[in-house]
Amino acid sequence: MPKGTMIGPTTRVQAFVATLVNRGVVCSTGADGEPLFELYSLLECLAPAQDDLAERLRQLQFVPICLAEMGLYLLYVPLLDVVEHLLPESTLPEMQALQEGFTVAPPSRQHTRADNGAA
């Protein structure tokens, strides 16, 4: 997470992360300690509205992680991106309830296709 960017309050963040993990979202930790969530299981859990999902996905920063034993790369999404871009679009009432009380302090990251390796 960039310096100056935080999500608060901490106990709500911990509860949100625990809820995602308990619902089967695969979680890892980035080099900076930020929670990362595997994209496919995250989308299954949040069930975001489909109408502008493609645009929301373009705004995400993807972190590829290699599963050496399988020779596969999975795409992970940082916590801040989940809260900013995917959680607000969840169609599930219990996820919408978790969203209440989240505050994202500026500066907010602005992603471009170049951030995801696109030319």
Inside any domain, residue 92: yes
The pTM (predicted TM-score) of the whole model is 0.74
Q: Is 76 contained in some domain?
A: yes
Residue 116 to residues 51, 54, 60: CA-CA distances in angstroms?
A: 22, 14, 8
Residue type, 56: R
* Domain assignment of residue 104, yes or no: yes
Residue 34 lies in a domain: yes
The per-residue pLDDT for 9 is 55
Instruction: Return mean pLDDT, the chain.
Output: 80
Instruction: Write out pLDDT tens, residues 56-105.
Output: 999 999 999 998 888 899 999 999 999 889 988 888 888 877 777 565 44
- Residue 118 is assigned to a structural domain of this protein: no
Domain of residue 25, residue span: 6-112
Residue 119 inside a domain? The answer is no
Cα distance between residue 30 and residue 89, in whole Å: 24
Nearest to 88 by CA among 76, 74, 103, 75: 103
Number of domains in the chain: 1
